[in-house]
């Protein structure tokens, strides 16, 4: 006898009128998806065993409960019957809360950075049943727009490649795994310490916003790891502009709208160049790193 919540009747179609495989999870993020029409599995052997048994690729989606774009992709795609039908028919879908499983997130974020050249959430990975990733992206819209291919186009293309070019996919996945597993050029060069720092500093100097502080274009992130680098570089090279860049940026953040002047804390990023209009979300790890940056900047002033 098949239980009501069993996926045994899939991929013929999970209607969404009954909970999927996340219904008994404790994570708030996973529970937000427990009644999606997509039949989500939590990370575990059950999902991968079924993928191997049915010879299907695994569609892995990693996110967290408070992030705006995770909700956007959920509403656009994972609550949509058309997208759900494709995922339920051709894939085994797994949901992971990055705050519950940072170990899994860190592995596949490295994969995304290797394959796509950037990372972020929601993190989208497609892999073989034995966990070899061959596709990675962040947010993907339902429909193709501008230069972004939508899920309704992308998912059938992945399945076509899975059926007709699988050896190429596996070869690509093996190359990604090897690149992540090996020490790589970056790790070997960091051993030289000052040489690597001397090469990194000019790039930051070119990207620095001399008017508003910060680096790069909008949206503008506080990037505390960059500020920590500059503070330490400035300690080694007092005649450089490194300390001034860090201090200007920290002061602009503190005086801007990205800082919560009522409750305290720094929001995730600013939607404008002047740090005026924040994206209203605060991350614990941002606060911890910014405390470190502010403390080092204060001590450098002593």
pLDDT for 124-178, tens place per residue?
999 999 999 999 999 999 999 877 899 999 999 999 999 999 999 999 999 989 8
pLDDT for 211-260, tens place per residue?
999 998 888 999 998 999 999 999 999 999 999 999 999 999 999 999 99
Q: In the chain, which residue ranges form alpha helices assigned H by DSSP?
A: 28-32, 45-54, 68-73, 81-90, 102-116, 151-164, 166-181, 184-190, 194-207, 224-236, 242-255, 284-301
Mean pLDDT to the nearest integer, 283-301 = 90
Q: Choose between 293 and 302: higher pLDDT.
A: 293
273 exposed, middle or buried (CB, 10 Å; 0-12, 13-18, 19+)? middle
Residue 117's pLDDT band (cuts 50, 70, 90) = confident
CA distance linking residue 117 with residue 176, whole number of Å: 12
CA angle, residues 137, 8, 126, in degrees to nearest 5: 15
Supply 190's token pair. Answer: 């960091």
pTM of the model: 0.66
Q: What distances in angstroms separate CA 55 from CA 199, 230, 283, one per listed residue? A: 47, 50, 38
**In the chain, where are the structural domains located?**
7-182, 188-301
Residues 6+ apart with CB under 8 A from 173: 127, 128, 132, 133, 134
Q: Give residue 120's pLDDT.
A: 87
Looking up tokens 């996110």, which residue turns up? 63
- Number of CB atoms found within 10 A of residue 192's CB: 11
CATH 3.40.30.10 fits 7-182, yes or no: yes
Supply 117's token pair. Answer: 């050249």
3-class DSSP state of 115:
helix
CA distance linking residue 151 with residue 296, whole number of Å: 45
Residues 6+ apart with CB under 8 A from 233: 197, 200, 201, 240, 242
> In Å, how far from its chain's centre is CA 30?
16
Q: How many residues in total does the chain contain?
A: 302
């Amino acid at each position: 006898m098949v239980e009501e919540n069993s996926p045994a009747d899939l991929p013929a179609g999970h209607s969404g009128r009954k909970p999927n495989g996340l219904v008994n999870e404790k994570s708030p993020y996973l529970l937000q998806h427990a009644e999606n029409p997509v039949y989500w599995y939590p990370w575990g052997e059950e999902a991968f065993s079924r993928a191997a048994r049915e010879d299907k690729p695994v569609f892995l989606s990693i996110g967290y409960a408070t992030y705006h774009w995770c909700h956007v992709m959920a509403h656009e795609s994972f609550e949509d019957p058309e997208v759900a039908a494709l995922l339920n028919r051709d894939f085994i879908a797994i949901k992971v809360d990055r705050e519950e499983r940072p170990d899994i997130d860190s592995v596949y974020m490295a994969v995304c950075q290797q394959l796509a050249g950037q990372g972020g959430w929601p993190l989208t990975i497609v892999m073989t049943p034995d966990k070899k990733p061959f596709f990675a992206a962040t947010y993907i819209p339902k429909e193709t727009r501008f230069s972004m291919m939508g899920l309704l186009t992308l998912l059938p293309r992945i399945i076509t490649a899975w059926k007709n070019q699988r050896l190429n996919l596996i070869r690509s996945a093996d190359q990604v795994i090897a690149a992540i597993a090996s020490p790589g050029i970056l790790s070997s060069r960091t051993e030289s310490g000052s040489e690597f720092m001397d090469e990194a500093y000019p790039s930051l100097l070119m990207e620095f916003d001399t008017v508003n502080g910060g680096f790069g274009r909008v949206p503008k992130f506080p990037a505390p790891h960059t500020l920590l680098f500059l503070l330490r570089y400035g300690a080694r090279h007092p005649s450089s502009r490194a300390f001034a860049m860090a201090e200007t940026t920290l002061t602009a953040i503190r005086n801007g709208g990205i800082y919560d002047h009522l409750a305290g804390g720094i929001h995730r990023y600013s939607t404008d160049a002047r740090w005026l209009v924040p994206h209203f979300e605060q991350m614990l790890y941002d606060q911890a790193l910014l405390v470190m940056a502010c403390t080092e900047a204060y001590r450098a002033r002593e």
